[in-house]
Every structure is written in C-alpha cells, then in structure tokens.
Structure 1
C-alpha cells in the first residue's frame, strides 16, 4: 500500500535522484521529472527493482517551459490518482560575476531556478487547490539568506526568490496546504563536485539528503540542513554585517 504520491523535479541526478530513492523506500509512489530521460529511466528501473510495489511515473521536462510543466504535473496527477506532495527541486548551480561577459550563464540560471520554480509552484498549487490538500516543498539554499558575491550572486538571488515564494504562500494560508522551504548547505553532488575538495562543511549526498527527507517528512516550515553546522551558521548569516559575511563566503 502506498504512503502517498510525490512529484520531484530535477530527479535525474543529485539531490532529486537521492530523494526519489529515499521516498520510494519510505513507501511513496513517485512522479519524476527532469531533462535527461535516459537517467530517469535508469532511476525508475533501480527503484522498482528494489521496491516492486512502487509506481514511478516519468516525464522528460524542462522547467523553464511553463506550459510543459503544467501538462506534466496534470498528467502525473491523473496517472497516480492524486498528488500529495510536490518537491520543487530542479535547478542550476552555474553563474558568473555580473558584468564579466557571461550574461547567458546568469540568465539561464535565473530562468531555471526562479522562473522554473514559479512554473512548478503554479502547477502544484492548482492541483492542491482543486483537491483541497497538499504539501509544497521548495528547495532553496543557505546562500539565499544573504547576497553573495562573484559567481554566486545570481544563484543566491534566485534562491532568495524561491524562499520568498514559499513565505508568500504560507502567508496566504491556503486551506489544506502545507508549505516547506528547505535550505541545504554544501552537499556533494555532480553539480558542485568541481569545488567539493576546497569547500568547508561539505557533506556526502547520503548525509545531506537524509537530513532533507527528515525535515520534509516532519513538514517543517523552514529547515537548514544538515542541522549541524547550518543552523548556527544560518543564525549568524542573518545577523552579521555584510563586511563579515563577505569574508566567510
């Protein structure tokens, strides 16, 4: 018997794929979306081999295409019967210092991380409002807490926007709908493996996603994960002068 149904975007690798594995092990049926269809197919084979009773529905999806996002979410809801949770996870970690000749990179990150998140949120909330219940989970970042410099500037700004979307929906207090925003610290994935060796407080994918899934299952309104050291770091980031934050990041 299924524990519920979850849509996860950006599920072909990294945080999304590992969350899919963990939620399947907990008993959830899944709707998985990502651009790389062959990776999604391999992940479905892996999950259903380990958990034969789980249903895993796939959609090849670019989250910057709002119409495609809406169609995919609607189709997944119809195929699974309902959607209990949507995890807005798809994102890019690329960036360049503003004004250094790479506006294309920053624009793509902004479109994927914020405009794409908005498209997913619209599609999820339409389903949740119609069925009268749901859990929206927004994957933000610790970098969302303050403005970041150089290659992180646009990325941090997009994640701050994601966090603001979540807070706005919590303020609206839509009946039957819970909203969570998760702020991961440095978790080792394909996206950041080129900097992992020189990044302080980096944790393995297993450790990081375990903390994320625990917070999501508890329907935490806001979570810094893993709690150590990111809860105290988050406390400091929100309060320290920018001159000090600049030296820490």
Structure 2
C-alpha cells in the first residue's frame, strides 16, 4: 500500500531534510519536526513552491522532551487525519573515547539516539495500534554491526540498541497490519559528519537518501544502504578483527 502521510523527526537538516524533499516530489504529505523550526518553515515554503499539492505540517520538537514527543505526534495525527509512516530519524553523534572526560557528551548521545528513540516508537505505535495500520521506520547505522572507537563508541552502541529495539517491536507486531523496518545507512554526507574529511565509500546526501527511500518502500526488516558496498560490508564487518575496525573509524 502507498503510505501517503509520513512523519519525519529531525527533518531540519541532513537525511531528514532530504528525505522530506524526495517524498514531497512523490506527492506524499508530510509531518516534519525538529528543534530548529525556522529551518522547517523554510523547507515547507520550498516544498510549497515546487509541490503545491502536498500538505506539509511542521512543529518544533526536541525529542529529548519525551512528553512533547507524544504531544507533537498526536497533533500531527490530527493535522493529517492519520499517519501512515513514522521515520525515527532524529539523532546526534557527540562523544569521545570513554574515560577521557567527555561523559556528558556521551550521555547526551545515548539519551538522544536511544532513550528518545523509544519515546518516538512508543508515540508512533500507540497511533498505529489505534488505527490498526502503519509503518515504523528507525534509522540505525552500519556502525550498529560492530563496536567502534573514539567518537563512535557510544554512537555505535546506541545504533545497535535501536536495531535490537526495532527487531523486538517486529516480533511484537507479528500477525498485525503494522510493519517495522530498520535502515542501516553507510557513509552518507550530512550535517552530522560534515567535518570528517576522508571517509571511504561516502556518497552525497541525495544519493544516500534515494537509496534509503527505495529500501523503506520494500517494508522488510533490515536494509544496509546504499546496497553497494554496504550489503557486503555488513557481512565482512561481523568477522573483521579489531585492528581492521580501528582503521574504519
């Protein structure tokens, strides 16, 4: 079935921003939220100019305000009449090697990427269960496959947790009309990694997001995107020695 009304968190920049533009070009209606509402308003205006028949609702949301997550998701449901798909995309990548004095940054990443993902999944699934249909999409990462060092240590752990969380949700939803998909992006250029100079196999944001949307539409369990080389790399990474992983991060 076509998922017409799509909610995207973290839509003011990066993957969320570009996914919104691509969905608008397909004629999908959008519920967009992020902390920077000025960016959302600018995106809404841009979409209105190029795709005037698309309905776009925007609301400010800090996903770490968990009560607000439920309020905003429910408000979006009222705005659009129902929600067909929710993409849990908001996240961050602050942090450093543990024991080096950056606990607060590591904690912030852990809360934003995992605890707040739980809040978003709870809010989305409450709506889906009530209407007895819907598609939950969580944006994980290739780093979920193995542990990583330095700034990626906690980040990778949170993404592994998101992958496991979504699998548990899938088990819980067996034999229901509600679907749950996990997307594991490889290296896609976005705001979260714009300062990183040398990254293997990196693609631009639009190319990466087109691969993400193609995978989402299949509504299966787990996807590693872009398919080349990450569908193969995910298998190699599971057995790679630690010294090889150290060279990747």
Q: TM-score, normalised by structure 1?
A: 0.96
Aligned counterpart, 2:184: 183
User: Counterpart in 1 of 2:227?
Assistant: 227
Question: Where does 1:18-37 land on structure 2 (aligned, <5 Å)?
Answer: 18-37=18-37
Contact map agreement 1:3 1:29 (CA 8 A) in 2: no
Partners of 1:110 and 1:154 within 8 A in 2? yes
Partner of 1:198, secondary structure, is coil
Q: For the residues of structure 2 that align with 1:3 and 1:168, how far apart are their CA atoms?
A: 23
Aligned to 2:99: 99
Deviations 1:133-173 (A, max 9, x none): 00000000000011111111000001011101110011112
Q: After TM superposition, what 4+ stretches of structure 1 lie above 6 angstroms from structure 2?
A: none
Query: Contact between 1:15 and 1:205, CA under 8 Å: does it hold in 2?
Result: yes
Q: CA deviation at 1:243?
A: 4.2
Identify unmatched segments of 5+ residues in structure 2: none
* Cα distance in 2, alignment partners of residues 241 and 173 from structure 1: 36
Deviations 1:8-61 (A, max 9, x none): 000000000000001111121000010001000000001111110111111100
TM-score by length of 2: 0.96
- How far apart are the structure 1 equivalents of 2:210 and 2:247? 30
Provide, for residues 72-127 of structure 1, a one-character-per-residue CA deviation record: whole Å limited to 9, x for no partner: 00000011000000000000011111111111111111111001111100000000
Task: Please state if 1:163 is matched with 2:163.
Answer: yes
Match of 2:82, SS state, is: coil
Count of residues in Structure 1 that have an aligned counterpart in Structure 2: 247
Deviates more, 1:239-248 or 1:164-173: 239-248
1:130 and 2:113 aligned: no
Structure 1 match to 2:72: 72
Q: Match of 1:57?
A: 57
Q: 1:217 Cα deviation (Å)?
A: 1.2
- Aligned counterpart, 2:211: 211
Query: Distance between the aligned counterparts of 1:218 and 1:61, measured in 2?
Result: 28
The Cα of 1:190 is off from its aligned counterpart by 1.6
How far is the alpha carbon of 1:246 from its aligned partner? 3.0
User: For residue 148 of structure 1, what is the aligned residue in structure 2?
Assistant: 148
SS in 1 for 2:202: coil
Give the conservation status (yes or no) of the 8 Å contact 2:93–2:151.
no
Question: Is 2:190 the partner of 1:194?
Answer: no
1:9 corresponds in structure 2 to: 9
User: 1:248 Cα deviation (Å)?
Assistant: 3.8
Q: Distance in 1 between matches of 2:88 and 2:221?
A: 15
Conservation of the 8 A alpha-carbon contact between 2:142 and 2:185: yes
What is the alpha-carbon distance in structure 1 between the residues aligned to residue 220 and residue 40 of structure 2?
28
How many Å separate the matches in 2 of 1:99 and 1:244? Answer: 23
Structure 1 alignment gaps of length 5 or more: none
8 Å contact kept, 2:96–2:150 = yes
